[in-house]
Structure 1
Amino acid sequence: MTWKQHARATVLTGPRMAVHLDQVSRPDGTLGEVWVTEQPDGALIVPLDDRGRVGMVRSVTYVHGEVVTPPGGTVEPGESPEDAGRRELHEEAGITARDWTALGSVALMTRNTARLHVFLARDLALGEQQLTASEFGMTLEWWGLPEAVKAACDGRLTLVGASLGILVAARYLETE
């Protein structure tokens, strides 16, 4: 048996999101309500230089304060996840890359439609950041891959996508 939606009420909309309250039948046949947040997908890029260092960006966010993460952001309408990744890498880190590897796509939460698309970027060229207003003050740092993995495991990378991206990239590089 599967979930079945009977009705949907949209209770909130914004420029990049909507919140719905769905009336559903659960797989066991019981009736219930499920809150669903609809948001665009994201792209996260793990840029790896020729010395084995990962480009990380440090910023201060409205909700979580200071965070460190690989570059990334929202997939805009009409953009592919890789195109969004290329744009975000250039904006946030001032980096362009000639070698791109898709590492997978994951759902981060069970009641949110957004998926995170993770990429490994290599053969890097450094340039100037092209920060947007919401990225003001973002700085680029270079971390050794082992240190980034350790930070992902010990909680210093507080955003789940950051930890996931680093760990998936490290695993991929081990098997390459």
Structure 2
Amino acid sequence: MPASPAPSGWSRVDRTTVLDGGRLRVHQDSVVQPDGAPGTFRVVEVPDGAATIAEDDHGRIALVRQPTYVHGTVLTIPGGAMEPGEAPEAAARRELAEEAGVTATTWRKLGDIALMNNNVCRLHLYAATELSLGEQQLTGTETGMTLEWWCLNDAVAAVMDGRIFLSGAIAAILMHARGRT
């Protein structure tokens, strides 16, 4: 089988799917590395996600505190996986309403990030203002999630000292803070 082209000088020679969990797939690719040497690279496929920095009229941002299976209780921004066929901003709007009970009139794209170099998932980040508050609509995995309103400078400090450590929240908080300076 001829090698298939991949980004940055890599070529895929063969692919074996080692896990197919529906919306989660893990592949082991036989590759030719940019230096010409053969190698193996594992690729994780999960749905893209969307997350939002929601800022109220007092300059505070919405953070959610959530008990999780892997990391214990985390402090992060509202967000989650996109549904099949769902546009990134629609997912961000849905997740903000579900997790924080917040809707917004004004939306601004902050950017997209890749979570890791072996994961095809992109996280689409947004900032939202002109907020209306409602009730959280939590799912079973979100049981116990609470909404907190933080001053942006305090959230940046929490990123810097490790209290906020999920990559999407870190990126969004710092991107939003940079955009305000």
TM-score, reference length from structure 1: 0.97
Alpha-carbon separation, structure 1, partners of 2:22 and 2:58 = 40
Q: Which of 161, 170, 173 is the aligned partner of 2:177?
A: 170
Name stretches of at least 5 consecutive residues in structure 1 with no aligned partner: none
Q: Which of 13, 21, 37 is the aligned partner of 1:14?
A: 21
Alpha-carbon separation, structure 1, partners of 2:143 and 2:117 = 31
Moved segments of 4+, more than 2 Å: none
SS in 2 for 1:97: strand
SS in 2 for 1:106: strand
Alpha-carbon separation, structure 2, partners of 1:24 and 1:173 = 43
Q: Which residue in the other structure is 2:5 paired with?
A: none
Q: Which of 139, 143, 151 is the aligned partner of 1:144?
A: 151
Alpha-carbon separation, structure 1, partners of 2:93 and 2:87 = 10
Instruction: Work out whether 1:101 is the aligned partner of 2:101.
Output: no
The Cα of 1:16 is off from its aligned counterpart by 1.8
Deviation string 1:64-100 (CA, Å, 9 cap, x unpaired) is 0000101000011110110000000000000000000
Alpha-carbon separation, structure 2, partners of 1:68 and 1:132 = 17
The Cα of 1:160 is off from its aligned counterpart by 1.3
Instruction: Work out whether 1:111 is the aligned partner of 2:118.
Output: yes
Q: Which residue in the other structure is 1:126 paired with?
A: 133
Q: Which residue in the other structure is 2:67 paired with?
A: 60
Instruction: Work out whether 1:92 is the aligned partner of 2:99.
Output: yes
Deviation string 1:34-73 (CA, Å, 9 cap, x unpaired) is 0110111111100000000000000100000000101000
The Cα of 1:134 is off from its aligned counterpart by 0.8
Instruction: Work out whether 1:30 is the aligned partner of 2:62.
Output: no
Q: Which residue in the other structure is 1:40 paired with?
A: 47
Alpha-carbon separation, structure 2, partners of 1:79 and 1:59 = 24
Q: Which residue in the other structure is 1:158 paired with?
A: 165
Identity percentage over the alignment?
Answer: 55
Q: Which of 46, 49, 52 is the aligned partner of 2:56?
A: 49
Name stretches of at least 5 consecutive residues in structure 2 with no aligned partner: 1-7
> Could you tell me which amino acid in structure 2 is paired with residue 146 of structure 1?
N
The Cα of 1:25 is off from its aligned counterpart by 0.3
The Cα of 1:3 is off from its aligned counterpart by 0.3
TM-score, reference length from structure 2: 0.94
The Cα of 1:106 is off from its aligned counterpart by 1.0
